[in-house]
Amino acid sequence: MKTLLALVTSLLVTFVFAQPVQIGVLSPLTGGAAGTGLAQQAGFELALQEINAAGGVLGEPLEIIIEDTQAAAPVALAAFEKLMTEDGVEFIAGGYSSGVTLALVESFRTFQPVVTWIGGAVSGVGIDGFDGIEELLGEEDWFFHIHPWDYHNVEAATAFVVSTGVDSVALLHEDSAFGGPGAAGAEALIEAEGIEVTIREAFTSTLFGGTGDFRATISKAAATDADMVYWIGYDSDVVPMISQIRERGYTPQYIFGTPPGWPSEFADAREAECVTGLIGFLPNLPTTEAQAFTEAYRDLHGNEPDNYMAALAYAQLWAYADAINAAGTTEQSAVIEALEAGTFRSPMGEWAFTSSELTDHQGFGADLWLVFQYQDGVREIVWPLERATAPLQSCR
Protein backbone atom coordinates (compact mmCIF):
# COMPACT_ATOMS: atom_id res chain seq x y z
CA MET A 1 0.00 0.00 0.00
CA LYS A 2 2.83 2.34 0.95
CA THR A 3 4.62 1.53 -2.30
CA LEU A 4 1.48 2.25 -4.29
CA LEU A 5 0.97 5.55 -2.44
CA ALA A 6 4.58 6.54 -3.08
CA LEU A 7 4.21 5.66 -6.75
CA VAL A 8 1.01 7.71 -7.13
CA THR A 9 2.58 10.65 -5.27
CA SER A 10 5.68 10.42 -7.42
CA LEU A 11 3.57 10.36 -10.61
CA LEU A 12 1.52 13.31 -9.40
CA VAL A 13 4.61 15.31 -8.53
CA THR A 14 6.14 14.50 -11.93
CA PHE A 15 2.90 15.50 -13.63
CA VAL A 16 2.65 18.76 -11.73
CA PHE A 17 6.27 19.71 -12.27
CA ALA A 18 6.19 18.70 -15.92
CA GLN A 19 3.58 21.34 -16.67
CA PRO A 20 5.07 24.16 -18.70
CA VAL A 21 5.25 27.47 -16.87
CA GLN A 22 2.68 29.88 -18.22
CA ILE A 23 2.95 33.65 -18.02
CA GLY A 24 -0.12 35.78 -18.60
CA VAL A 25 0.49 38.95 -20.59
CA LEU A 26 -1.72 42.04 -20.68
CA SER A 27 -1.00 44.22 -23.72
CA PRO A 28 -3.08 46.57 -25.91
CA LEU A 29 -3.08 44.63 -29.20
CA THR A 30 -5.95 46.56 -30.77
CA GLY A 31 -7.30 50.09 -30.40
CA GLY A 32 -5.41 53.36 -30.36
CA ALA A 33 -2.40 52.00 -28.44
CA ALA A 34 -2.06 48.86 -30.58
CA GLY A 35 1.27 50.05 -31.97
CA THR A 36 2.83 49.84 -28.52
CA GLY A 37 1.07 46.58 -27.68
CA LEU A 38 2.21 44.94 -30.90
CA ALA A 39 5.76 46.13 -30.19
CA GLN A 40 5.54 44.47 -26.77
CA GLN A 41 4.25 41.29 -28.41
CA ALA A 42 7.20 41.33 -30.83
CA GLY A 43 9.62 41.67 -27.90
CA PHE A 44 7.94 38.81 -26.02
CA GLU A 45 8.06 36.58 -29.10
CA LEU A 46 11.79 37.12 -29.53
CA ALA A 47 12.50 36.48 -25.84
CA LEU A 48 10.26 33.39 -25.86
CA GLN A 49 12.09 31.97 -28.86
CA GLU A 50 15.47 32.52 -27.21
CA ILE A 51 14.37 31.23 -23.79
CA ASN A 52 12.98 28.01 -25.22
CA ALA A 53 16.02 27.54 -27.47
CA ALA A 54 18.12 27.82 -24.31
CA GLY A 55 16.21 25.01 -22.55
CA GLY A 56 13.04 26.77 -21.43
CA VAL A 57 11.98 27.21 -17.81
CA LEU A 58 12.38 24.38 -15.29
CA GLY A 59 13.18 22.07 -18.18
CA GLU A 60 9.95 22.73 -20.07
CA PRO A 61 9.17 25.19 -22.87
CA LEU A 62 7.89 28.49 -21.47
CA GLU A 63 4.41 29.51 -22.59
CA ILE A 64 2.80 32.93 -22.68
CA ILE A 65 -0.90 33.72 -22.92
CA ILE A 66 -1.39 37.20 -24.36
CA GLU A 67 -4.66 38.99 -23.65
CA ASP A 68 -5.65 42.19 -25.44
CA THR A 69 -6.47 45.09 -23.08
CA GLN A 70 -7.24 47.58 -25.87
CA ALA A 71 -5.70 50.07 -23.39
CA ALA A 72 -9.20 50.25 -21.91
CA ALA A 73 -9.82 49.67 -18.19
CA PRO A 74 -12.95 47.43 -18.44
CA VAL A 75 -11.35 45.24 -21.11
CA ALA A 76 -8.12 44.97 -19.11
CA LEU A 77 -10.03 43.97 -15.96
CA ALA A 78 -11.88 41.22 -17.82
CA ALA A 79 -8.65 40.04 -19.46
CA PHE A 80 -6.82 39.89 -16.12
CA GLU A 81 -9.62 37.99 -14.40
CA LYS A 82 -9.73 35.55 -17.31
CA LEU A 83 -5.99 34.91 -16.87
CA MET A 84 -6.52 34.32 -13.15
CA THR A 85 -9.68 32.24 -13.15
CA GLU A 86 -9.74 30.40 -16.48
CA ASP A 87 -6.06 30.06 -17.34
CA GLY A 88 -4.85 29.86 -13.75
CA VAL A 89 -1.55 31.66 -14.40
CA GLU A 90 0.62 32.66 -11.45
CA PHE A 91 2.73 35.28 -13.21
CA ILE A 92 1.62 38.43 -14.99
CA ALA A 93 3.66 40.42 -17.49
CA GLY A 94 3.04 43.22 -20.00
CA GLY A 95 1.42 46.47 -18.97
CA TYR A 96 0.57 49.74 -20.65
CA SER A 97 -1.23 52.95 -19.65
CA SER A 98 -1.34 54.44 -16.18
CA GLY A 99 -5.13 54.70 -16.32
CA VAL A 100 -5.47 50.99 -17.05
CA THR A 101 -2.94 50.10 -14.35
CA LEU A 102 -4.80 52.15 -11.74
CA ALA A 103 -8.02 50.39 -12.71
CA LEU A 104 -6.31 47.00 -12.18
CA VAL A 105 -4.97 47.77 -8.68
CA GLU A 106 -7.85 46.26 -6.71
CA SER A 107 -8.01 43.14 -8.88
CA PHE A 108 -4.26 42.70 -8.52
CA ARG A 109 -4.73 42.89 -4.74
CA THR A 110 -7.56 40.36 -4.84
CA PHE A 111 -5.62 37.67 -6.71
CA GLN A 112 -2.05 38.69 -5.80
CA PRO A 113 -0.13 36.87 -8.54
CA VAL A 114 3.48 37.90 -9.15
CA VAL A 115 3.17 40.98 -11.38
CA THR A 116 6.05 42.51 -13.28
CA TRP A 117 4.88 45.58 -15.17
CA ILE A 118 6.37 47.59 -18.03
CA GLY A 119 3.66 50.24 -18.24
CA GLY A 120 2.03 52.72 -15.94
CA ALA A 121 4.54 55.43 -15.07
CA VAL A 122 2.30 57.55 -12.84
CA SER A 123 3.82 57.19 -9.37
CA GLY A 124 1.63 59.72 -7.55
CA VAL A 125 4.75 60.96 -5.79
CA GLY A 126 4.58 64.72 -5.25
CA ILE A 127 0.97 65.02 -6.37
CA ASP A 128 -1.48 65.96 -3.61
CA GLY A 129 -4.92 64.38 -3.61
CA PHE A 130 -4.02 61.71 -6.16
CA ASP A 131 -2.95 58.13 -5.46
CA GLY A 132 -0.54 56.91 -8.10
CA ILE A 133 0.64 53.41 -8.90
CA GLU A 134 3.80 53.53 -6.78
CA GLU A 135 1.81 54.85 -3.83
CA LEU A 136 -0.81 52.11 -4.19
CA LEU A 137 1.37 49.11 -5.04
CA GLY A 138 4.89 50.12 -4.03
CA GLU A 139 4.87 48.10 -0.81
CA GLU A 140 3.30 44.93 -2.22
CA ASP A 141 5.94 42.20 -2.28
CA TRP A 142 4.42 40.59 -5.38
CA PHE A 143 4.50 43.77 -7.52
CA PHE A 144 7.59 44.64 -9.56
CA HIS A 145 7.66 47.80 -11.69
CA ILE A 146 10.11 47.77 -14.61
CA HIS A 147 9.34 50.95 -16.58
CA PRO A 148 10.77 54.15 -15.04
CA TRP A 149 8.36 56.22 -12.93
CA ASP A 150 7.14 59.62 -14.10
CA TYR A 151 9.67 61.41 -11.89
CA HIS A 152 12.45 59.39 -13.54
CA ASN A 153 11.18 60.51 -16.95
CA VAL A 154 11.00 64.11 -15.82
CA GLU A 155 14.43 63.90 -14.17
CA ALA A 156 16.00 62.69 -17.44
CA ALA A 157 14.08 65.17 -19.58
CA THR A 158 14.98 68.05 -17.28
CA ALA A 159 18.64 67.08 -17.30
CA PHE A 160 18.53 67.23 -21.10
CA VAL A 161 16.70 70.58 -21.09
CA VAL A 162 19.30 72.03 -18.72
CA SER A 163 22.14 70.65 -20.87
CA THR A 164 20.89 72.63 -23.90
CA GLY A 165 21.36 75.96 -22.10
CA VAL A 166 17.91 77.35 -23.02
CA ASP A 167 16.43 80.18 -20.93
CA SER A 168 12.74 79.49 -21.50
CA VAL A 169 10.47 76.53 -22.23
CA ALA A 170 6.87 76.30 -23.48
CA LEU A 171 5.39 73.14 -21.97
CA LEU A 172 2.56 71.52 -23.95
CA HIS A 173 1.03 68.28 -22.73
CA GLU A 174 -1.84 65.92 -23.40
CA ASP A 175 -4.37 65.87 -20.58
CA SER A 176 -4.61 62.22 -19.48
CA ALA A 177 -2.91 60.49 -16.53
CA PHE A 178 0.24 60.32 -18.67
CA GLY A 179 0.74 63.96 -19.66
CA GLY A 180 -0.84 65.85 -16.77
CA PRO A 181 1.30 64.66 -13.85
CA GLY A 182 4.36 64.50 -16.11
CA ALA A 183 3.95 68.16 -17.05
CA ALA A 184 3.38 69.22 -13.44
CA GLY A 185 6.59 67.49 -12.39
CA ALA A 186 8.52 68.88 -15.36
CA GLU A 187 7.40 72.45 -14.67
CA ALA A 188 8.57 72.27 -11.06
CA LEU A 189 11.96 70.75 -11.90
CA ILE A 190 12.66 73.05 -14.85
CA GLU A 191 11.80 76.15 -12.83
CA ALA A 192 13.97 74.88 -9.97
CA GLU A 193 16.85 74.96 -12.45
CA GLY A 194 16.21 78.66 -13.09
CA ILE A 195 14.62 78.16 -16.52
CA GLU A 196 11.38 80.04 -17.19
CA VAL A 197 8.33 78.00 -18.14
CA THR A 198 6.53 80.57 -20.30
CA ILE A 199 3.32 78.56 -20.64
CA ARG A 200 1.96 75.19 -19.55
CA GLU A 201 -0.95 74.26 -21.77
CA ALA A 202 -2.92 71.01 -22.11
CA PHE A 203 -4.31 69.49 -25.32
CA THR A 204 -6.38 66.43 -26.19
CA SER A 205 -4.28 63.70 -27.78
CA THR A 206 -5.42 62.13 -31.04
CA LEU A 207 -5.23 58.87 -29.07
CA PHE A 208 -8.13 60.04 -26.92
CA GLY A 209 -10.48 61.55 -29.47
CA GLY A 210 -8.63 64.72 -30.43
CA THR A 211 -8.71 65.70 -34.10
CA GLY A 212 -5.03 66.62 -34.20
CA ASP A 213 -5.64 70.33 -34.67
CA PHE A 214 -3.14 71.78 -32.20
CA ARG A 215 -2.96 75.22 -33.83
CA ALA A 216 -4.61 77.06 -30.93
CA THR A 217 -2.22 75.51 -28.40
CA ILE A 218 0.79 76.19 -30.62
CA SER A 219 -0.28 79.80 -31.25
CA LYS A 220 -0.30 80.40 -27.50
CA ALA A 221 3.16 78.87 -27.15
CA ALA A 222 4.50 80.83 -30.13
CA ALA A 223 3.24 84.07 -28.57
CA THR A 224 5.64 83.48 -25.65
CA ASP A 225 8.61 82.96 -28.04
CA ALA A 226 10.14 80.35 -25.72
CA ASP A 227 13.54 78.92 -26.67
CA MET A 228 12.22 75.37 -26.48
CA VAL A 229 8.89 73.65 -27.09
CA TYR A 230 8.72 70.64 -24.78
CA TRP A 231 5.66 68.53 -25.50
CA ILE A 232 4.31 65.42 -23.82
CA GLY A 233 1.90 63.39 -25.95
CA TYR A 234 1.48 60.14 -27.85
CA ASP A 235 2.91 58.66 -31.06
CA SER A 236 -0.07 59.72 -33.17
CA ASP A 237 0.42 63.36 -32.09
CA VAL A 238 3.93 63.59 -33.56
CA VAL A 239 3.07 64.52 -37.15
CA PRO A 240 0.36 67.12 -36.44
CA MET A 241 2.33 68.68 -33.56
CA ILE A 242 5.61 69.12 -35.44
CA SER A 243 4.12 70.09 -38.80
CA GLN A 244 1.82 72.67 -37.19
CA ILE A 245 4.72 74.24 -35.25
CA ARG A 246 6.57 74.60 -38.59
CA GLU A 247 3.42 75.80 -40.38
CA ARG A 248 3.00 78.51 -37.74
CA GLY A 249 6.47 79.83 -38.57
CA TYR A 250 7.55 79.30 -34.96
CA THR A 251 11.27 78.43 -34.80
CA PRO A 252 12.34 77.64 -31.25
CA GLN A 253 15.93 76.49 -30.77
CA TYR A 254 14.70 73.03 -29.87
CA ILE A 255 11.50 71.03 -30.26
CA PHE A 256 11.60 68.25 -27.69
CA GLY A 257 8.92 65.56 -27.41
CA THR A 258 8.42 62.59 -25.10
CA PRO A 259 5.82 60.32 -26.75
CA PRO A 260 6.21 56.57 -26.08
CA GLY A 261 7.06 56.02 -29.76
CA TRP A 262 7.56 57.87 -33.03
CA PRO A 263 6.00 56.95 -36.42
CA SER A 264 8.78 55.15 -38.29
CA GLU A 265 8.14 57.04 -41.56
CA PHE A 266 8.49 60.40 -39.81
CA ALA A 267 12.28 60.26 -40.18
CA ASP A 268 11.85 60.97 -43.91
CA ALA A 269 9.76 64.12 -43.36
CA ARG A 270 11.60 67.41 -43.92
CA GLU A 271 9.92 68.92 -40.85
CA ALA A 272 11.50 66.19 -38.71
CA GLU A 273 14.97 67.66 -39.14
CA CYS A 274 16.37 68.88 -35.82
CA VAL A 275 13.43 67.57 -33.73
CA THR A 276 14.55 65.87 -30.50
CA GLY A 277 12.84 63.16 -28.51
CA LEU A 278 13.16 61.05 -25.38
CA ILE A 279 13.28 57.30 -25.94
CA GLY A 280 14.17 54.19 -23.96
CA PHE A 281 15.96 52.29 -26.70
CA LEU A 282 17.26 52.89 -30.20
CA PRO A 283 18.64 50.26 -32.59
CA ASN A 284 21.79 52.37 -33.09
CA LEU A 285 22.62 52.38 -29.37
CA PRO A 286 26.35 51.65 -29.49
CA THR A 287 26.47 48.65 -27.13
CA THR A 288 26.96 44.94 -27.73
CA GLU A 289 23.64 44.02 -26.10
CA ALA A 290 21.71 46.53 -28.20
CA GLN A 291 23.28 45.35 -31.44
CA ALA A 292 22.65 41.67 -30.62
CA PHE A 293 19.01 42.38 -29.77
CA THR A 294 18.49 44.48 -32.90
CA GLU A 295 19.98 41.82 -35.13
CA ALA A 296 17.91 39.01 -33.59
CA TYR A 297 14.77 41.15 -33.72
CA ARG A 298 15.39 41.98 -37.37
CA ASP A 299 15.91 38.29 -38.18
CA LEU A 300 12.66 37.27 -36.48
CA HIS A 301 10.38 40.14 -37.46
CA GLY A 302 11.99 41.64 -40.55
CA ASN A 303 11.98 45.20 -39.21
CA GLU A 304 13.72 47.42 -36.68
CA PRO A 305 12.77 47.53 -32.98
CA ASP A 306 11.61 51.15 -33.28
CA ASN A 307 9.43 51.16 -30.17
CA TYR A 308 11.34 50.82 -26.90
CA MET A 309 8.48 48.76 -25.46
CA ALA A 310 9.78 45.83 -27.54
CA ALA A 311 13.09 46.03 -25.66
CA LEU A 312 11.34 46.34 -22.28
CA ALA A 313 9.07 43.36 -23.02
CA TYR A 314 12.10 41.32 -24.04
CA ALA A 315 13.85 42.23 -20.78
CA GLN A 316 10.72 41.43 -18.76
CA LEU A 317 10.23 37.91 -20.09
CA TRP A 318 13.90 37.05 -19.72
CA ALA A 319 13.75 38.29 -16.10
CA TYR A 320 10.88 35.90 -15.38
CA ALA A 321 12.68 32.99 -17.05
CA ASP A 322 15.95 33.63 -15.24
CA ALA A 323 14.23 34.18 -11.87
CA ILE A 324 12.07 31.04 -12.05
CA ASN A 325 15.04 28.97 -13.17
CA ALA A 326 17.13 30.43 -10.33
CA ALA A 327 14.36 29.65 -7.84
CA GLY A 328 14.02 26.12 -9.21
CA THR A 329 10.29 26.25 -8.57
CA THR A 330 7.21 28.29 -9.42
CA GLU A 331 6.43 28.76 -5.74
CA GLN A 332 5.62 32.45 -5.35
CA SER A 333 7.87 33.43 -2.45
CA ALA A 334 10.88 31.72 -4.05
CA VAL A 335 10.31 33.50 -7.37
CA ILE A 336 9.90 36.84 -5.60
CA GLU A 337 13.21 36.27 -3.80
CA ALA A 338 14.89 35.39 -7.09
CA LEU A 339 13.49 38.51 -8.76
CA GLU A 340 14.76 40.61 -5.85
CA ALA A 341 18.22 39.03 -5.90
CA GLY A 342 18.78 38.61 -9.63
CA THR A 343 20.65 40.60 -12.23
CA PHE A 344 19.00 40.36 -15.62
CA ARG A 345 19.87 40.82 -19.27
CA SER A 346 18.33 43.46 -21.55
CA PRO A 347 19.10 45.29 -24.79
CA MET A 348 19.90 48.30 -22.59
CA GLY A 349 22.48 46.35 -20.55
CA GLU A 350 22.30 44.48 -17.25
CA TRP A 351 19.68 45.58 -14.73
CA ALA A 352 18.22 44.59 -11.36
CA PHE A 353 15.32 45.57 -9.13
CA THR A 354 16.41 48.36 -6.78
CA SER A 355 14.85 51.11 -4.69
CA SER A 356 12.90 54.10 -5.93
CA GLU A 357 10.88 56.59 -3.87
CA LEU A 358 8.35 54.14 -2.41
CA THR A 359 9.33 50.65 -3.54
CA ASP A 360 12.29 48.28 -3.49
CA HIS A 361 11.02 46.61 -6.65
CA GLN A 362 11.91 49.18 -9.31
CA GLY A 363 13.59 48.12 -12.55
CA PHE A 364 14.83 50.99 -14.68
CA GLY A 365 15.26 54.60 -13.57
CA ALA A 366 16.22 57.88 -15.22
CA ASP A 367 19.34 56.31 -16.70
CA LEU A 368 17.23 54.28 -19.14
CA TRP A 369 16.49 57.36 -21.19
CA LEU A 370 18.25 58.63 -24.28
CA VAL A 371 17.58 61.77 -26.27
CA PHE A 372 17.80 61.51 -30.04
CA GLN A 373 17.70 64.18 -32.71
CA TYR A 374 16.62 63.70 -36.32
CA GLN A 375 19.67 64.58 -38.38
CA ASP A 376 19.49 63.92 -42.14
CA GLY A 377 16.79 61.29 -41.65
CA VAL A 378 18.65 59.41 -38.90
CA ARG A 379 17.83 59.39 -35.19
CA GLU A 380 21.20 60.25 -33.75
CA ILE A 381 21.64 59.83 -30.00
CA VAL A 382 22.63 63.27 -28.66
CA TRP A 383 22.21 62.78 -24.89
CA PRO A 384 23.61 61.60 -22.53
CA LEU A 385 26.97 62.52 -23.97
CA GLU A 386 28.65 59.23 -23.01
CA ARG A 387 26.21 57.33 -25.25
CA ALA A 388 25.91 60.01 -27.97
CA THR A 389 26.38 59.14 -31.62
CA ALA A 390 26.35 62.80 -32.79
CA PRO A 391 26.45 66.30 -31.24
CA LEU A 392 23.17 68.16 -30.58
CA GLN A 393 22.33 70.84 -33.16
CA SER A 394 20.37 74.03 -32.51
CA CYS A 395 17.50 74.62 -34.93
CA ARG A 396 17.29 78.40 -34.85
**Smallest distance, another protein to C-beta of residue 378, A:** 14
Output the smallest distance, CB 50 to another protein, in A. Answer: 23
The least distance separating another protein from the CB of residue 263, rounded to whole angstroms, comes to 4
Q: 204 and 216 in contact (C-beta within 8 Å)?
A: no
Closest of 44, 86, 113 to residue 321, by C-alpha: 44
Q: Nearer Cβ to another protein, position 32 or 148?
A: 32
DSSP one-letter string for 163-184: HHT-SEEEEEEESSTTHHHHHH
* Strand, helix or coil for residue 264: helix
Smaller CB separation from another protein, 143 or 262: 262
Closer residue to another protein (CB): 21 or 275: 275
Q: Are 189 and 158 in contact (CB under 8 A)?
A: yes
- 370 beta partners: 279
Q: How far is the CB of 365 from another protein (least distance, A)?
A: 27
CA distance linking residue 162 with residue 383, whole number of Å: 11
Q: For another protein, which is the closer residue by CB, 138 or 180?
A: 180
Least CB distance from residue 244 to another protein, whole Å? 7
Helices within the chain (DSSP H only):
2-18, 34-53, 73-85, 98-111, 133-137, 150-164, 179-192, 215-224, 238-247, 288-301, 308-327, 332-341
* DSSP of 173-226: EESSTTHHHHHHHHHHHHHHTT-EEEEEEEE--GGGT--S--HHHHHHHHHHT-
Residue closer to another protein, measured from CB, 71 or 92: 71
CA distance 237 to 239: 6
CB of residue 67 vs another protein: minimum separation in angstroms? 16
**Cβ proximity to another protein, 214 vs 293, nearer residue:** 214
Burial class of residue 160 (count of CB atoms within 10 Å of its CB; 0-12, 13-18, 19+): buried
Closest approach, Cβ 192 to another protein, in A, equals 23
Q: What does the binding site for another protein look like in residue numbers (CB under 8 A)?
A: 29-39, 175, 201-204, 206, 209-217, 219-220, 223, 235-236, 238-240, 242-244, 246-249, 261, 263-271, 307
| Cβ nearer to another protein, comparing 82 with 248 | 248
